[in-house]
Amino acid sequence: MRGGRKIIPQKRGSHLDALKRDAVIYAAVVDSALDAVIVVDEQGRVVTMNASAETTFGYPKSEALGRSIGELIVPENYREAHEAGMARYRATGIPHVLGRRVEMEARRKDGTILPIELAITEVTLPEGRYFTANLRDLSMAKASAAEIQRQREALHQNEKLAAIGSLLAGVAHELNNPLSIVLGQATLLQEELADSVSLEPAGKRASQIQAAAERCARVVRSFMAIARQHKAEKRNVAVAPLLDSAVELLAYGLRSNGVIVYHDYQHDMPPVFVDPDQLQQIVVNLIVNANQALQETDGKRVIEISAYVDENGLARVVVDDSGPGVPESIKAQIFDPFFTTKPLGVGTGIGLSISRGLAEAQGGRLGLAESRLNGAAFEIVLPVAEDPPATTNGKAANGRDEPPAPQAALRALVVDDEIDLARLVAEGLVKKGYEVDLAASGALAKELISTAAGRYDAVVCDLRMPDVDGPALFRWIAENHPPLTQRVLFVTGDALGPAAGRFLAESSRPFLEKPFTPSDVVRLVADFPPRHD
């Protein structure tokens, strides 16, 4: 008796009943778990598994018991490492994955591979050690993440297309002006050459034609760079020409809005290591935003673009405007997706968000800076290239470096259904010592190549032709004259088309986007491997 109460000792049978009850409850919890649970002994043999493990890996429990877990679910290329890890732990007791959550691949009974998240715990009993593996199937999570990324990229592309639509009028104007110069100067040049009084004025007019045509080419290339959809390809890039190209692309819209653009570039600024198309898109977005903000300004409308390297060795590009600026109340929000102060239908609110993402993808950042014009200033911070700019290897590059003249007689085949363009390319090659055959179709090119494929040092081929197009001709060459595939250069005005883009990527051949010059062709074919007669 204690305190008037009688204490009755608990019976041993009641304690065992409680343990059995807890074991039944625990077994029910494990068996109903959504994640797979597999218990193995020290040798890695399966002791038990729950229903989710049976469903996930396709093994009935009766078939899995007593078998090695490595044999059941570890992919063949990881089994050796798995067995070595088990042996090392048994020998040293030093854990490798115990107590950690790790992602890896597992194998189903049917041989398919699935991503999983794995967590292993150790249980020590009198008869030995056991390991409980909790495995979560990440297939749906990975698929959902991939779909979100796909939708994000689609949204990104839609924003780019919307921006391109707003630029079309300005681009058309920028092209029509220099094209009018080209046509007018060409007519006068023809008249002067017909008179043959003096060739000096004709030479000046030819220079004016070239300058106007190159202006057209720069606008077209800038426009296509923004429209192109591709994975980031970083390389050393000179900053000033890229900034000038972005301004030139938007020149008409800026002039029509009465905006004056000033440049403040550091002399001999080193290149940056970025994807030039993505950097140009950021700059274009910032200039477009500044131009739109300046529409609300009654006074002088100014955009200042500066570029320099700071004391920490980082490149900085600042787009500053004299507009109304960014209110303090929204500075923390302007980079948020879908946040916009523009009227409905004017903007989607993701331009700055995408631009910040693109800047971070370059290893840099985009943020607000102090405005020297009392408006809004956005600053792009980028890594400076460690090495000097690499020479271009001919992938859609329209440089103007002249290659050395061939030392021996060379032969080329030019394939293009636009015969005037084919003759222009041929003329450039002939001036550099090539003998040139022309083919106005892919079918005719097949005939010429079949006659003597080994005699051609280069094949310059248009990508799109009415009968046998460039891809079809290339596949025919690969099947019938494989060595010649290494001496093929494509020219195209359709590099943005998905089919053309896929083919050019698969073929791994250099290509030139129109407009180009004959010297561009000569420069690239000069790097082709020599033929072996």
CA 154 – CA 166 distance, rounded (Å): 19
Show the 3-state SS of 44-67: CEEEEECHHHHHHHCCCHHHHCCC
Q: Residue 282: what residue type?
A: I
pLDDT at 131: 87
Distant-in-sequence, close-in-space partners of 32: CB < 8 Å, separation ≥ 6: 50, 51
pLDDT at 345: 42
Same structural domain for residues 275 and 380?
yes
CA 249 – CA 228 distance, rounded (Å): 15
∠ CA 74-79-80, nearest 5°, is: 170
Range list of H helices, 105-138: none
Distant-in-sequence, close-in-space partners of 452: CB < 8 Å, separation ≥ 6: none
Same structural domain for residues 210 and 318?
no
CA 511 – CA 313 distance, rounded (Å): 36
**Cβ atoms 502, 488 nearer than 8 A:** no
Task: Please give the order of strands across the beta sheet that includes 377-383.
Answer: 259-265, 301-309, 314-321, 377-383, 365-369
Q: Is residue 119 part of a domain?
A: yes
∠ CA 457-459-464, nearest 5°, is: 175
pLDDT digits (tens, 9 = 90+) for 298-338: 888 999 999 999 988 999 999 999 998 888 877 877 777 65
Same structural domain for residues 419 and 375?
no
Q: Are strands 434-439 and 377-383 parallel, antiparallel or unpaired?
A: unpaired
Q: For helices 351-361 and 139-195, give the axis angle rounded to 10 degrees.
A: 90
Range of the domain at 485: 410-525
Please count the residues of the chain: 533
Number of helices (H), then strands (E), belonging to the chain: the values are 16, 17
Same structural domain for residues 461 and 340?
no
Q: Is residue 530 part of a domain?
A: no
Same structural domain for residues 421 and 288?
no
Same structural domain for residues 253 and 375?
yes
pLDDT at 458: 93
Same structural domain for residues 223 and 268?
no
Cα torsion angle, 125, 128, 129, 132, sign: negative
Same structural domain for residues 277 and 375?
yes
pLDDT at 399: 43
Last residue of some domain: 188, 213, 229?
A: 229
Same structural domain for residues 468 and 359?
no
Give, as one character, the DSSP assignment of residue 409: -
Long-range contacts of 165-169 (CB under 8 A, 24+ apart): 166/288, 167/223, 167/249, 167/250, 167/253, 169/252, 169/253
Distant-in-sequence, close-in-space partners of 227: CB < 8 Å, separation ≥ 6: 160, 161, 164, 496
Quick one: tokens of 190?
A: 């023809």
CATH of the domain at 194: 1.10.287
Quick one: tokens of 424?
A: 């222009």
Q: Residue 431: what residue type?
A: K
> How many distinct structural domains can be found in the chain?
4
CATH of the domain at 107: 3.30.450.20
Q: What are phi and psi of 303, to 5 degrees?
A: -125, 130
Q: Which residues of the chain have pLDDT under 70?
A: 1-29, 154, 157-188, 190-201, 203, 212-215, 217-232, 337-351, 387-408, 453, 493-498, 532-533
Q: Is residue 8 part of a domain?
A: no
CATH of the domain at 346: 3.30.565.10
pLDDT at 400: 43
CATH of the domain at 508: 3.40.50.2300
Residue 273: closest CA among 148, 189, 206, 363: 363
Q: Is residue 405 part of a domain?
A: no
Show the 3-state SS of 156-225: HHHHHHHHHHHHHHHHHHHHHHHHHHHHHHHHHHHHHHHHCCCCHHHHHHHHHHHHHHHHHHHHHHHHHH
Give, as one character, the DSSP assignment of residue 5: B
Q: Is residue 451 part of a domain?
A: yes
pLDDT at 393: 39
Quick one: tokens of 348?
A: 């989607």
Distant-in-sequence, close-in-space partners of 442: CB < 8 Å, separation ≥ 6: 415, 461, 465, 467, 468, 469, 470, 472, 473
pLDDT at 235: 86
pLDDT at 396: 44
Q: Is residue 305 part of a domain?
A: yes
Cα torsion angle, 13, 15, 16, 20, sign: positive
Same structural domain for residues 249 and 343?
yes
CA 268 – CA 388 distance, rounded (Å): 13
3-class DSSP state for residue 292? Answer: helix
Same structural domain for residues 53 and 198?
no
pLDDT at 142: 87
Q: Is residue 420 part of a domain?
A: yes
Last residue of some domain: 198, 229, 260?
A: 229
Same structural domain for residues 305 and 213?
no
Dihedral, CA atoms, 139, 145, 151, 153, nearest 10 degrees?
A: -120
Residue linked to tokens 């198309």: 277
**Cβ atoms 52, 34 nearer than 8 A:** yes
pLDDT digits (tens, 9 = 90+) for 147-186: 888 777 767 766 665 666 556 555 655 665 565 566 566 6
pLDDT at 412: 93
Quick one: tokens of 315?
A: 């490149």
Q: Is residue 144 part of a domain?
A: no
